[in-house]
Amino acid sequence: MSILTAQELKELTGKTKPAWQRRELEFLGIPCKPRSDGSLIVFWSDVRATHNVQPAPREPQVRLS
């Protein structure tokens, strides 16, 4: 399995700090695992798998105006 490098992770998330990267990955729906030094492990297969995910349909909303 191939993992993203630190530079690739920075390019994917647009963030430099691991905590910010983790939040961005969670928002994108990409799973990650923390290392003991605080950096993140992200597998390329997970990045590619989320590329094919369709957004959930919006729930109808009630307008009270």
Domain-embedded: residue 22 = yes
Tokens of 3: 């993992």
Q: Return the closest-CA partner of residue 28 out of 42, 39, 16, 17.
A: 42
Count of CB atoms situated within 10 Å of the CB of 4: 20
CA distance 61 to 22: 31
Domain-embedded: residue 25 = yes
User: Considering the entire predicted model, what is its pTM?
Assistant: 0.72
Evaluate if residue 1 carries a pLDDT over 80: no
CA distance 17 to 10: 9
pLDDT at residue 42 in the model: 95
Domain count along the chain? 1
Domain-embedded: residue 59 = no
Residue-wise pLDDT for 2-56, tens only, equals: 999 999 999 999 999 999 999 999 988 899 999 999 999 999 998 888 766 566 6
